[in-house]
Amino acid sequence: MNKINNQVEILENLSKILDVEADTGYEYLECKFEVDEQSVNTKFVFSLNGSIVNRAISLKNRLQNMRLVLMLHSMMKSQTGGDWKSMTLTIDENREAKTHFEY
């Protein structure tokens, strides 16, 4: 598997975890991952019936997310030199995912 496919697989796994964490029928969800050396701070929100819901991610999934985000960060840094500080993953009502990186 090539390096880009590895990154896509990580993003797909993160998307699946977040999809499970949000309530069924959400309009969109957004999770901001802030990387700080070997830890990841997470802010997770989603929209349901027009209301914004802030929710903590379950411990099991929080640990899995941290592992995946740190792996993605390390992979991207070694491949391109990009040392992003945060990544926002957004999933819309059609379950299409988008990412935004802040350096």
pLDDT of 1: 62
CATH code at 3-85+92-98: 3.30.500.20
Cα separations in angstroms, 2 against 8, 44, 69, 75: 10, 30, 18, 12
User: pTM here?
Assistant: 0.91
| DSSP summary character for residue 84 | -
pLDDT in tens, 16-40: 999 999 999 999 999 999 998 789 9
pLDDT in tens, 59-100: 999 999 999 999 999 999 998 888 999 999 999 989 999 999
Tell me: pLDDT of 3 over 90. Answer: no
Domain boundaries, the chain: 3-85+92-98
Q: How far apart are CA 59 and CA 63, in angstroms?
A: 6
